[in-house]
Amino acid sequence: METMIAAPTTVLNTVGLDTALPKSLVAKTNQAATAAPLSIDIQNVTVSFKTNEGVYTAVKNISLQVKKGEIISLIGHSGCGKSTLMNTISGMVSPSEGTVLANQKKVTGPGPDRGIVFQNYSLLPWLTVYQNIFVAVDSVMKNKSKADKIALTENGLKMVNLWPHKDKLPGQLSGGMKQRVAIARAFSINPSILLLDEPFGALDALTKSAMHIELLKLWNLDHREKTIILVTHDIEEAIFLSDRVVVLNNGPAATIKEIVDVPLARPRNKKDIVHDPEYMRIHDKLLGLLMHKLSIND
Amino acid sequence: MKKIISLQTLYAMLYFVLGMGLLLAAWAWVSHITKNEVPSPILTWKVFQEVMQSPFQNDADIKGIGTKLLSSLGRVGIGFGLGSLLAVPLGLLLGSNIRLMNIFNPIIQILKPVSPLAWFPLGLAIFKDSPKASIFMIFICCIWPTLINTAMGAASVPPDHKNVSKAFAFSPLKYITKILLPYTLPHIITGLRLSIGVAWMVIVAGEMLSGGMGLGYFVWEEGFNGGSIEKILVAILIIGSVGLLLDKAFIALEKKLSYAQ
Contact A175, A210 (CB under 8 A): no
Q: What is the mean pLDDT of residues A117-123?
A: 88
Residue A92: which of B163, B182, B260 has the nearest Cβ? Answer: B163
Compute the average pLDDT of residues A91-99: 91
Query: What is the C-alpha to C-alpha distance for residues A23 and B245, in angstroms, rounded to an integer?
Result: 71
In the three-class reduction of DSSP (H, G, I as helix; E, B as strand; rest coil), residue A13 is classed as: helix
Torsion from C-alpha of B192, B194, B198, B200, nearest 10 degrees: 60
Percent of chain A scoring above 90 in pLDDT? 44
Asked if B167's CB is within 8 angstroms of A169's CB, the reply is no
CA distance, residue A140 to nearest chain B CA (Å): 6
Contact A109 B166 (CB under 8 A): yes
Inter-axis angle of helices B130-155 and B65-96, nearest 10: 40
Extract the residue ranges of chain B whose pLDDT is less than 50: none
pLDDT in tens, A35-69: 567 899 999 999 998 888 888 888 899 999 999 99
Mark yes or no for CB contact B179/A125 under 8 Å: no
CA distances from A261 to A4, A61, A177, B222 (A): 14, 21, 31, 92
| Radius of gyration of chain A, Cα coordinates, nearest whole angstrom | 20
Binary contact (B161, A110; C-beta < 8 A): no
Q: What is the distance in angstroms between the Cα of A32 and the nearest Cα belonging to chain B?
A: 32
Average pLDDT, rounded, for chain A:
84
Cβ count within 10 A of residue B65: 22
Residue A252: cis peptide before it, omega within 30 degrees of 0: yes
Q: How far is B52 from chain A (nearest CA, A)?
A: 46
DSSP class per residue in B40-98: PHHHHHHHHHHHTTSTT-B-SS-B-HHHHHHHHHHHHHHHHHHHHHHHHHHHHHHHH-H
CA distances from A198 to A179, A205, A270, B105 (A): 11, 14, 19, 40
pTM for this structure? 0.79
Q: CA of B236 to nearest chain A CA: how many angstroms apart?
A: 41
Q: How many CB pairs under 8 A join A and B?
A: 59
Domain ranges of chain A: 2-113+191-290
| C-alpha distance from B40 to closest chain A C-alpha (Å) | 52
Q: What secondary structure does DSSP assign to A240-273, as a single string?
A: HH-SEEEEEPPSSSB-EEEEEE----SS--HHHH
Indicate yes or no: CB of A139 within 8 angstroms of CB of B260: no
Q: What is the pLDDT of residues A193-221, one digit of tens each?
A: 999 998 888 788 888 888 898 889 888 88
Residues A129 and A165: beta-carbon distance below 8 Å: yes
Q: Does domain A2-113+191-290 have CATH number 3.90.1170.40?
A: no
A81: left (phi over 0), alpha (psi -120 to 50) or beta: left
Amino acid making up residue B139: F
Spell out where A18-147 has E strands: 38-51, 54-67, 71-75, 97-102, 105-106, 114-117
Amino acid type, B23: L
**Which residues of B are less than 8 Å from A125 in CB distance?**
259-261
Cis peptide before B113 (omega within 30 of 0): no
Alpha carbons A15 and B219: distance in angstroms, whole number: 91
Out of A122, A138, A171, the one facing B160 most closely (by C-beta) is A122
Give which of B124, B141, B156, B152 is closest to B86, Cα–Cα: B141
> Cα-flanking dihedrals φ and ψ of residue A50, to 5°?
-85, 125
Whether residues B168 and A189 touch (CB distance < 8 A) is answered with: yes
Q: What average pLDDT does range A243-255 have in this prediction?
A: 89
Q: Give the whole-angstrom CA distance, residue B87 versus residue A238.
A: 51
Rounded CA-CA distance B128/B220 in Å is: 22
pLDDT value at residue A36: 67
For the beta carbon of residue B239, count every other beta carbon within 10 angstroms.
20
Q: Are A100 and A106 in contact (CB under 8 A)?
A: yes
Residue A71, pLDDT above cutoff 50: yes
> A223: which DSSP letter?
T
Residues of A in contact with B256 (CB under 8 A): none
Percent of chain A with pLDDT over 70: 88
Question: Which residue of B168, B180, B183 to mutate against A (max A Cβ within 10 Å)?
Answer: B168
Q: What is the DSSP string of B115-129?
A: -GGGHHHHHHHHHS-
Give the model confidence (pLDDT) of A163-185 as tens digits. 999 999 999 998 888 988 998 89
Bridge partner list, A40: A66, A102
The model's confidence at residue A242, banded by pLDDT at 50, 70 and 90, is very high
Q: How far is CA B216 from CA B141, B200, B239, in A?
A: 17, 11, 10
Chain B residues at the A interface, defined by Cβ less than 8 Å, are: 160-161, 163-164, 166-171, 174, 178-179, 182-183, 259-261
Q: Which residues of A touch B166 (CB under 8 A)?
A: 92, 109-110
CA angle (A9, A11, A13) in 5-degree steps: 70
Query: Nearest-CA residue of chain A relative to B172?
Result: A139
Residue A139 has pLDDT above 50, yes or no: yes
pLDDT at A158: 87
Q: In this predicted structure, what is the pLDDT of residue A53?
A: 86
* C-alpha span between B77 and B139 (Å, rounded): 9
User: pLDDT tens, A147-167?
Assistant: 999 999 998 898 888 899 999
Alpha helices in A42-97 (DSSP H): 82-90
d(CA A156, CA A218) in angstroms, rounded, equals 10
Q: Tell me the average pLDDT of chain B.
A: 89
Q: Give the residue with greater pLDDT, A222 vs A174.
A: A174
At B110 the pLDDT is 94
